Amino acid sequence: MRRGIIRKFQGSWGSGIGYLLIEDSKTHKVESIPCDNAPTVRALERAFGNIITEGHTANGAGYKGKEIYWEYDNFGLVLAGFTPVKEGK
């Protein structure tokens, strides 16, 4: 499990792929983590709110600057999941 700060979410509704840009808490390097677009947007909305905006877009900024624990899937290719640090303690 890794720890970091969410800096940005990028995604394309049509492709189904999104990217969560996370600043690693140890290295301070920002990594672009591939993820399933719609499930990630819904998870961000449940965790932080202010994500889903009019027209089912993810333009809300409720996730920016939030600290999370996160991990890759078993293959190390895509986001397996995340938990807000405030809930993981």
6, 68 contact by CB (below 8 A): yes
Question: Is 10 strand, coil or helix?
Answer: strand
Task: Yes or no: say if 19 and 6 are a contact pair by the CB < 8 Å rule.
Answer: no
Which percentage of the chain shows pLDDT scores above 70? 97
Q: Which CATH class is domain 2-88?
A: mainly beta
The domains of the chain are located at: 2-88
Rounded (5°) CA angle 67-58-77: 60
Distance CA 81, CA 60 (A): 20
Convert the pLDDT of each residue in 64-81 to its tens digit: 999 999 999 999 999 999
pLDDT cut 90: percent of the chain above it? 71
Count Cβ atoms below 10 Å from residue 70 Cβ, excluding itself.
Answer: 20
